[in-house]
Amino acid sequence: MTTLDATDHAILEELRRDARTSMTAIADAVHISRAGAHARIKRLTDAGVITGYSVRTDPVLLGHHASAYVMLAIEQATWQEVSDRLRAIPEIEHMALVGGDFDVILLVRASDARDLRRIVLEDIQAIPSIRSTRTTLIFEDFTRI
């Protein structure tokens, strides 16, 4: 397991803010050499701490005017099958296996309320191993870096 120091955490914070930040800008921000920043990022990537880079988008500007968290209770022995079926639904942006009253939490993005209804009632609830669902509408999103 890789031990992270304050400089590693500072580099990760810079990359979370903007993954396109230049190596020179990262080095300047965390007060190390460019070569040092490059070596640390390579080490963090090789160790699996950094798993990739992504783009954050505004769901409304992308046409997703209805979003919801959908909680699922599933038959326990069917997680892999359910997971595979859920991954095939393009409107599911995030999926987590959790403990508690429900087994799975989904973040679903839809074009409008009618589309959200279709996804929940026709796509998700059509999976035989899902025992029940609970949908919670999202009125406003906030993402911290």
Per-residue pLDDT of the chain (145 residues; tens, 9 = 90+): 779 999 999 999 999 999 999 999 999 999 999 999 999 999 999 999 999 998 888 899 999 999 999 999 999 899 999 999 999 999 999 999 999 999 999 999 999 999 999 999 999 999 999 999 999 999 998 877 6
Contact assessment for residue 125 and residue 116, using Cβ atoms and an 8 Å cutoff: no
CB contact set of 19 (below 8 Å; sequence gap of 6+) = 53, 54, 55
Tell how far CA 65 is from the center of its chain.
19
Q: Determine the residue type at 95.
A: M
Q: What is the pLDDT of residues 75-105, one digit of tens each?
A: 989 999 999 999 999 999 999 999 999 999 9
Most distant CA atoms of the chain, gap in Å: 56
What single letter denotes the amino acid at residue 47? A
Q: Which domains does the chain have, with CATH numbers?
A: 6-46 (1.10.10.10), 66-138 (3.30.70.920)
Tokens of 39: 């070596």
Model pTM score: 0.79
Alpha-carbon distance 21 to 11, whole Å? 10
Sheet architecture: strand order including 66-74: 92-97, 104-110, 66-74, 130-138
CB 7 within 8 A of CB 40: yes
Q: What is the pLDDT of residue 145?
A: 62
